[in-house]
Each structure stands twice: as structure tokens, then as C-alpha cells.
Structure 1
Amino acid sequence: MHHRVSIVPFVNANSFSFSSIFEIGDSHGINLTSRAIAVQREYPLFVEDEANFSSYRIFSEVIPTPIIEEKVRTTFIHENPIIKVASVTLTGASNSAVLQIGSTNTIRAEARVKHIRQLLSD
């Protein structure tokens, strides 16, 4: 990982939620995971502990890691080791998002959401 200096005099970030990160500086790796069950009902009746992640296959399925078979050769020339940005404005980051000022070797981000709509029958 190439180490550089990031200069950002002004950052305005309004909201971070659900496994989101605002990282200042370098990191070796970032691992983000977010799980949610979103229920939308026509008649708003909610019962405590009514949904379990284990009840839905989406939360236990294995996400395959892509196999990269192509050989990629890269060359980086950092004549100036400083990244300078005047300002960053972010409205919001949610569900395994990252705003980083710096370098990272690897990032793994996963967000799994089960949406359920329950409508009244005619």
C-alpha cells in the first residue's frame, strides 16, 4: 500500500448510520456488515421480536468471491505524495458505506436487507 498524506481542511458530513465509517488516515483493511429486515404494513401493527434473521435465506447465503484470472500489471508513480482537496460535503452514508480520507489495502462491504410488504386483502 502506498502511503500518502491527505489534506482536507473542511469536511461536512451530516449523517452516518448502520455500519458506516468515516475514516481519517490509512488503514490496512475495512470490513463493513449491515443486516436489516424492513417491514412495511398497510395496517401498522408491530409485535416485538417478530422477525429473526435466521428465518430468511438471504442472511445465510454465501456470497461468492470472484476469481480473478487475468494478470494485471500496474505501475504507480507518486511524484507528489500529497492528496489535497479543498472540502468534502456528504449528506449521508448508510448500510455499510465508507468515507475515507487516506489509503486502504482492502475493503469488504456487505449490506443485506429483506424487504417485506404486508397489504390488506380486498
Structure 2
Amino acid sequence: MKRHVLVDNVYIINISNSSACICGESGLIDAYTRALAVQRQVPVFFEDEGKYEDYPIFSRSIPAWQLPSEVELDVIQDFKAIHVGCLDVITTASSSVVQLGPNDMMELESRVKAIRHFITDAPQELKDYVGVIVRQSP
């Protein structure tokens, strides 16, 4: 049975990074995000850094969810409509979905590698520098 979704009010401030807001039915959502976040005390970045294949977290297989076998489900849907009064979402990010209504399948993946470099013996003028220095690798 097809169902209708009735939404009175949706207020979303931010949707980003392979995220979606869906009101109604959808068949397959296959969202995917990968991010490399580098934070340094001294803002020096090299042109050739940031290759995903250099970090194993981006190539490891993600364990699949094992569904229980032989599950009997009897669903009675008396109403042809899903009614939502008000939905207030501050933000969605990194392969997330806000969905009002049925969905057959979702495969969401988000991988983030955070790198932090803090230098304690750097000269004070470098610590106070607010710009970005880009250098070629040696």
C-alpha cells in the first residue's frame, strides 16, 4: 500500500555532506562521505598530502549488519497517511538522512580521519600567524 506523508512544518537550518531530507517514499539511499581533517598549530600544508589511499581507515571493509533469520512480521496499516506536525532539525551531516515516510533500503557510510599536529617548540611568530602556508614536499 502506498502511503502519503503530510507535513505541516519542517524547519532545517543545515544539510551537508551527502545528507538528505526526504518527505515521502524512497527506494534506495546510498549516501557516502569521506573526509580528511587536518588541524595544525602552525598552518603549513603540503600540496601532495591528503590522499585517501594513504590511510587504512578509508579502505577497510565495513561489517555488514546481519539480519535475524526467519523473522515473521505482520504489519497492519490502517491509515494511508503519515502525519507529522512539526519537525525541527538543527543540522545533518556526514551521510545522514532525515526521512518522513517509508524506505526500502539505506546504506550510509561516513569515514573521517582526524589528524592533529601540535608543535610546542615553534617560534611565537609562527604560532600567532593567521594565514595558511602551502609548501611543496621536500
Q: With structure 2 as the length reference, what TM-score do the two structures score?
A: 0.80
Q: Which residue of 2 aligns with 1:50?
A: 49
State how far apart, in whole Å, the 1-side matches of 2:25 and 2:67 are: 25
State how far apart, in whole Å, the 1-side matches of 2:23 and 2:47 are: 38
- Alpha carbons of structure 1 residues 69 and 103: separation in structure 2 relative to 1, 3 Å: closer
Q: Which runs of 5+ in 1 are unaligned?
A: none
Q: Which residue of 1 aligns with 2:105?
A: 106
Alpha-carbon contact 1:39-1:116 (below 8 Å) kept? yes
Query: Larger Rg: 1 or 2?
Result: 2
Q: Which one is further off, 2-11 or 107-116?
A: 2-11
State how far apart, in whole Å, the 1-side matches of 2:87 and 2:56 are: 38
Aligned with 2:37: secondary structure?
A: strand
Code of the residue aligned with 2:39 in structure 1: it is Q
Aligned with 2:30: secondary structure?
A: strand
Q: Which one is further off, 7-16 or 38-47?
A: 38-47
Aligned with 2:53: secondary structure?
A: helix
State how far apart, in whole Å, the 1-side matches of 2:64 and 2:22 are: 25
CA displacement at 1:59 relative to structure 2: 0.6
Mapping for residues 52-71 of structure 1, pairs under 5 Å: 52-71=51-70
Q: Which residue of 1 aligns with 2:127?
A: none
State how far apart, in whole Å, the 1-side matches of 2:37 and 2:47 are: 14
State how far apart, in whole Å, the 2-side matches of 1:6 and 1:69 are: 29
Alpha-carbon contact 1:43-1:119 (below 8 Å) kept? yes
Code of the residue aligned with 2:21 in structure 1: it is F
Q: Once the two structures are aligned, what percentage of the paired residues are identical? A: 34
Higher RCO (Cα < 8 Å, 6 or more apart): 1
CA displacement at 1:3 relative to structure 2: 2.4
Alpha-carbon contact 1:24-1:100 (below 8 Å) kept? yes
Code of the residue aligned with 2:19 in structure 1: it is S
Aligned with 1:86: secondary structure?
A: strand
Aligned with 1:73: secondary structure?
A: coil
Q: How many residue pairs get matched?
A: 121
1:30 aligns with 2:29: yes
